[in-house]
Structure 1
Amino acid sequence: MDDKLLVDILKNQVVPALGCTEPGAVAYAVARSKEILGSEVKQLNIYADKNIIKNSMSVGIPGTNEHGIIFAAALALVIGKSEYKLEVLKDVNNDSIDKALKIVDSDIISLQLENIQGLFIKVEALSENNKSCVTIRHSHTNIINETKNDEIILDNTDDAASSVEIKYEIKKYNIDYLIKFANEAHIEDIEFIKNGIDLNMRIADAGLSGQTGVGLGKYFYTSAKDAFSMAKAYTAAASEARMSGYLLPVMSSAGSGNHGLVAIIPIAFIGQEKNIDAERIIRAVTLSHLVTIFVKVHLGSLSPVCGCGVAAGVGCAAGLTYLLNGNKEQIKGSINNMVAGISGMLCDGAKLGCSYKLSISVDAAVDASEMALKNIFIPDDNGILGDTPEKTIVNLAHVSNIGMKNTDDEILRVMMDKC
């Protein structure tokens, strides 16, 4: 097994993101398309899969009071820089907001649903005499095709090539090895994980001290009685700030900022409150990320089930169990415990209400971990559980990807009917 590959996977999948990653990915594609075009955009056509649209409808755009794909795209036309990737809109200011609103009013941006499975974004930018096109596939910053006036600039459209994107390499490993790596990796190789802890704790503090969202984080904070319930409050407050468009980046995990909040904050907060060694906290968060990524490559980048619960929540349960000196069997048991309890949580798009789902996920992760630490394990003959955590995750992915293949269509239909 190659430990360097796991470090590379972590560095690829644990990256800063400003705002929700779905409108951020669209803005990234728009910025790149604008740069290729090299002249004023007169028409912008956006094509996206149902999950991109679902997760972009109601979420706040960072540094603004606006929501959704169209405004994110307009803002990207004004200030977007593709070099920033998922922080593409970080240069936002009042002047750029005004200009973006005028672009929205000019009605030059169209959005169309594409009936394509998996993450898909295609952006066409047209000027008076030129046309550029950028296509993203499979993950939020994975540009597979770029053209200008039908001349190919970049072409990685071969499905076989896309399928070996580095994150999928984690399927070569099992949970035992991920635990071994988290425990034995040279600290210098994973020290960058500390950056994510700092970023996500900073936005949690901002969410608790500022006026963001509806006050869910503060509600949990005032009723918290111990480190575990405080961790729930911090996670909810961070998500609430992020979903309402607070202008601070977060460290994402497996393509999602909210996943990063769940994968990091409970472990970091509980570890700090219990005076656990900083290196052990980093190793626990490392395991949380690795398990989160492992689950997500089976589920897919976007799915009908809430990845904050069934991916990051599972990672968090494993990381917490490791943090609190659980053995290998207890860590694996916490994964099965978590899936047994929270596998049915639906994803109905990114929005303020996600902060409540994150709080539920943290609650469940703490319970799953504490049960495992007391050697209480949900039996593997229950429901979709397998006799190993790997089999459980495969079963969960099967139910989500095959059994629920029409669920997203119906969720999006309900959401669109409200517009």
Structure 2
Amino acid sequence: MIKDIFFDQVKPAYGCTEPIAVALSTATAKKYLNETLEDLKEINITLDKNTYKNGLVVNIPGTNIFGLEIAAALGYLCGIPEKGLEVLKDVNSQCLSKATNLKNKIKIEINDMPYLYVETIAVSKDNHTVKILIEGKHDNIAKITIDSNTILDKPFNPSKTTLENIKKYSIDEIIDYVENPDKEVLDYVEKAIEMNIDIAKYGMQMKGNFSNAAINEYVKYVSAGVDARMSGVLKPVMTVAGSGNQGLSCILPIATKREEYDKEKILKATLLSILVTIYIKAYTGLLTPICGAGSISAAGSAAGLTYLKGGNRQQIKNAINDTIGTLFGLTCDGAKRGCALKAVTGTLTAIQVSELAINNIDVPCGNGIVAKDVEETIRRVGKLTNSVKQFDKDVLDYIGKC
């Protein structure tokens, strides 16, 4: 059911979700190893290249520090694994001080796994070990092994995830659901709007924030929200398909028009934006070489904005097609403050495309990757995204180097 997919893919998180996945793994390891900093020998972490890429230069919540080692250390020392993606909600200065010392005991390597992969092995000085494996999704703890005893084993199958289930639906069927959604889904959308507006307002007060360059109020919210999140502001963001920046970019362009439209219309338009974003991510994968906030969620918000303005189904599909045709190829070179500017690019395109769609102006099929049927365009995006995986390896040579 679409409702189940929605709740699986729309969750609150503190901080960038890739380092948070690392923090969740070390927090879980601490829960079972139960060793103090003094009695801990080492923590060895293996990551897929995309998780590694997105954790290199993004600030960790509640700190002015970036890096996967500090995320891992904070998770071990003060993370609460039961909170999931909010694992670092209670980070404080005392914990941060200790984490700086723990960094020296943490080693990180990368592998070639094609999906999100976080393997943490914590070793005590008396050589007890705890192995935690997170696979496929940022909060999916797939395996827990204490010494040689496996107490949890849920093998990850990429073809049998909740995210994959949305491929069973067409865009028309998604719009059908948006027209008659479950009440609890709309209530949750309202919560998502309030949460993401809150961090955006905070971001606008930050010195030197990127929103100062935004050309209108709607774009300013998106820029400020992403900037605040990437800067490590200790506030939650409602994520969409594993990404807070996607959540901000597909929710805020519509949510900021609350004064212009009735509440139900805003909630339904936002829901459509969220579901279209999830739909596209099902084809590209959660972590990809393509920028989610700047291109994929822009297609979602273009659909939502077109719906909000009274657009018909074909106009909504055209808006998705045209956004993809415009922005596909905008790459992801890691999570960072500069993501705010990519999100602005996506939002501006979504606003423009929705106006064109309402006026029945669209990119003809055959122009680039744009197909007649929007579902085919999205499938092409998935295929092409998976064909440029080498980018993720090569870009690691440059991230963090001036």
Pairwise CA RMSD: 1.3
> Normalized against structure 2, the TM-score is what?
0.97
> What is aligned with 1:283?
268
Mapped contact 1:309–1:343 kept (Cα < 8 A): no
| Shift of residue 230, structure 1, vs aligned partner | 1.2
| Shift of residue 188, structure 1, vs aligned partner | 4.1
In structure 2, the CA distance between the partners of 1:186 and 1:144, relative to structure 1 (3 Å rule), is closer
Distance 2:224 2:252 in 1: 11
Match of 2:143 among 145, 148, 157: 145
1:302 aligns with 2:281: no
Q: Where does structure 2 lack aligned partners over 5 or more consecutive residues?
A: none
For residues 20-419 of structure 1, the aligned pairs below 5 Å read 20-40=16-36, 41-104=40-103, 107-127=104-124, 128-157=126-155, 159=157, 162-211=158-207, 214-220=208-214, 224=215, 229-270=216-257, 272-274=258-260, 276-402=261-387, 404-415=388-399, 418=401
| Shift of residue 113, structure 1, vs aligned partner | 0.9
Q: Where does structure 1 lack aligned partners over 5 or more consecutive residues?
A: none
How many residue pairs get aligned? The number is: 398
Mapped contact 1:61–1:68 kept (Cα < 8 A): yes
Corresponding letter in the other structure for 2:30? K
Q: Secondary structure at the match of 1:313?
A: helix
| Shift of residue 257, structure 1, vs aligned partner | 0.2
| Shift of residue 38, structure 1, vs aligned partner | 2.2
> What is aligned with 1:6?
2
- Structure 1 runs of 4+ with >6 Å offset: none
Q: Secondary structure at the match of 2:150?
A: strand
Distance 1:158 1:409 in 2: 23
Mapped contact 1:267–1:319 kept (Cα < 8 A): yes
Distance 2:170 2:33 in 1: 45
Q: Deviations over 1:259-279 (max 9, x none)?
A: 000110010002x131x1111
Distance 2:152 2:165 in 1: 23
| Shift of residue 190, structure 1, vs aligned partner | 2.4
> Normalized against structure 1, the TM-score is what?
0.93
| Shift of residue 309, structure 1, vs aligned partner | 2.6
In structure 2, the CA distance between the partners of 1:194 and 1:111, relative to structure 1 (3 Å rule), is same
Distance 1:14 1:158 in 2: 20
Mapped contact 1:45–1:123 kept (Cα < 8 A): yes
Mapped contact 2:85–2:139 kept (Cα < 8 A): yes
Give the percent of matched residue pairs that are identical in Structure 1 and Structure 2.
40
Mapped contact 1:7–1:190 kept (Cα < 8 A): no
Mapped contact 1:187–1:279 kept (Cα < 8 A): no
